[in-house]
Structure 1
């Protein structure tokens, strides 16, 4: 009897037929459709992958929506161009130069892919001023919307102090993306009230000086005053606000 004919025959799969990409696991161990993300010991699996999503959901701050410091400066360029052109040339040249500067600023920000809202708002503002100047036929008409705007801001700032919603605090925390928790601290409310008073005095000083020049029909002096009381006074108001707020923050009692 030949015993080897009675032994069971074992068949092995052909290795050459296997797909090299096959990742079949041993029996009882299913193969996942994809490799899971590595998990940290504290259970923060995929935290790194979720970080970009959280960053994308972050609401831009007010300063970012305004285009940053460069956006704020760019929005004022058309006004500066009008003031200079009116002093050096005539009204019509100044109007064309200001509107052209606004268009160029908008195109420049489009090419750089920067936020365009500051440039659009600046172009709209200079358009309104140019329209008033063109309708009145006087260069001083260009400054009238700015005078009215400064007067309105000065009054609103005073009202915000009385209402205990000082405008400086609202804008400061809005720019930094904070909430309104600062209003629970009387020290901060008082500090922002003083800072808002500085801004109100700045706006009303512009109205007083430039308004007197407007009534006197001193167009050249009005343009020079517009430039001189623009960035310098704004810079002083910002510096005063920073110093007042920092002092209030430094003098706050430490939490228990």
Structure 2
């Protein structure tokens, strides 16, 4: 009697085709945007600077009415360009609305320096509002960080976290305050050209500085309250 060799039912045989190895595609990693990208990147800087440059340059050589028309045309052209690049409609139209309101104020008052008036008073409002949150022991950067994390963290109870957000919010307040102080002084002096230079120099560059400090405060908060799993530190001062 011939002995028959038994195979395990799941064992591969010579007749079975080779099984191709299963490859798992790598999970794409999400790149964290740089600080400059978070404020709009180089194009964001250009978008904020071009209307100012056009207005100041045109005002030096053209009548005020023509200057207003040229600045509006420049703002409209820049908006169309940004829309064609696929930027968000709200972001692209926001800059056009700002130029239109500033130009409308100039047309109403007849003074070229009023192109910068709204921005000056926005800087003052920003300075007062952000500094008030620090005085109230609820710095606005901390409120924003906690809101982004579901509002579940007692971040004010951690002295290091509260101090970090005090620093970040004070830095933001100083940016607003510096813009108001310098540009209001130039506004009173009726130095329209210098106002344009100050608006550009104190725009995106100072925003990047404030954002760098804010990102540091956000990361410090995340490390202490989220990554480490800690919910509270030393009690905060009242």
For the Cα contact (< 8 Å) 1:83–1:224, is it kept in 2? no
Shift, 1:105, TM fit = 2.8
1:71-150 matched pairs, under 5 angstroms: 72-73=44-45, 76-77=48-49, 79-86=51-58, 88-90=60-62, 91-150=64-123
Give a deviation string over 1:3-52, Cα, whole Å, max 9, x none: xxxxxxxxxxxxxxxxxxxxxxxxxxxxxxxxxxxxxxxxxxxxxxxxxx
**Larger Cα Rg: Structure 1 or Structure 2?**
1
Shift, 1:146, TM fit = 0.4
Shift, 1:183, TM fit = 4.5
Shift, 1:153, TM fit = 0.7
1:61 is matched with which residue? Answer: none
Shift, 1:137, TM fit = 1.6
1:216 is matched with which residue? Answer: 189
2:205 is matched with which residue? Answer: 232
For the Cα contact (< 8 Å) 2:105–2:114, is it kept in 1? yes
For the Cα contact (< 8 Å) 1:140–1:217, is it kept in 2? yes
For the residues of structure 2 that align with 1:82 and 1:144, how far apart are their CA atoms?
17
For the residues of structure 2 that align with 1:73 and 1:222, how far apart are their CA atoms?
17
More relative contact order, 1 or 2 (CA 8 Å, 6+ apart): 2
For the Cα contact (< 8 Å) 1:85–1:97, is it kept in 2? no
Structure 2: which 5+ residue stretches go unaligned? 1-37, 231-238
Number of aligned residue pairs: 188
Matched, 1:166 2:139: yes
For the residues of structure 2 that align with 1:193 and 1:158, how far apart are their CA atoms?
9
Q: Root-mean-square deviation (CA), in Å?
A: 3.0
Matched, 1:180 2:151: yes
Shift, 1:242, TM fit = 2.6
For the Cα contact (< 8 Å) 2:55–2:68, is it kept in 1? no
Could you state the TM-score of these two structures normalised by the residue count of structure 1?
Answer: 0.62
Could you state the TM-score of these two structures normalised by the residue count of structure 2?
Answer: 0.66
- Larger mean CA deviation between 88-97 and 221-230 belongs to 88-97
Shift, 1:201, TM fit = 0.8
For the Cα contact (< 8 Å) 1:82–1:95, is it kept in 2? no
For the Cα contact (< 8 Å) 2:146–2:152, is it kept in 1? no
For the residues of structure 1 that align with 2:145 and 2:50, how far apart are their CA atoms?
26
For residue 40 of structure 2, give the secondary structure of its aligned residue in structure 1.
helix
Shift, 1:218, TM fit = 1.4
